[in-house]
Amino acid sequence: MKLFNREKRESVIIVGCGSLGSKLAAVLANQNDAVSIIDIDENSFAKLPATYHEFCIDGDATDTDILELAGIKTADTLIALTNDDNTNIMVAQIAKQYYKVNQVIAKIDDATKEASYAQTGITAICPLLLSLNEFERVFKTEKEGRSA
């Protein structure tokens, strides 16, 4: 009976199999999400751990054929993590506007661009700003530790 009660697996597409993309793919696959990872260079899939048994697709993720191969029509989440901001923005917008993917997250390195994509329904993550905040926090707690 339990077989039929199981909840639907969350399906996630990750674009860009760099250090961040490969780690995230492994984490999500461990959580039993259905993961497809796309990268333009098939050698980059070597970064994935041996325990990863989900989909790897080599191709250009700005091409809708490749996205459809990765199952974008039924995907719940798309995460764009390539090294190129413009590619991330373009893929994210295709996912949001064209395929109406529920949750779309894009890594945007250029902090000036982050703000302009806040209203479009795309969650922008800027590693620079995150690091800045973290440094600030660490400084603050160390200072407090010394003065106490």
Binding site for other proteins (CB under 8 A): 62-65, 84-87, 89-90, 93-94, 97-98, 110, 112-113, 116
Complex with other proteins: residue 62 or 103, whichever CB lies closer: 62
The Cα 1–Cα 137 span in angstroms is 49
Complex with other proteins: residue 16 or 28, whichever CB lies closer: 16
Least distance (Å) between residue 73 CB and other proteins: 15
The residue to which tokens 């603050």 are assigned:
140
Complex with other proteins: residue 52 or 117, whichever CB lies closer: 117
Least distance (Å) between residue 74 CB and other proteins: 20
Sheet with 103-107, edge to edge strand ranges = 55-58, 34-39, 11-15, 77-80, 103-107, 123-125
Least distance (Å) between residue 141 CB and other proteins: 33
Quick check: 89 and 124 in contact, CB under 8 A? no
Q: In degrees to the nearest 10, what's the CA dihedral of 79, 51, 53, 68?
A: 10
Least distance (Å) between residue 115 CB and other proteins: 8
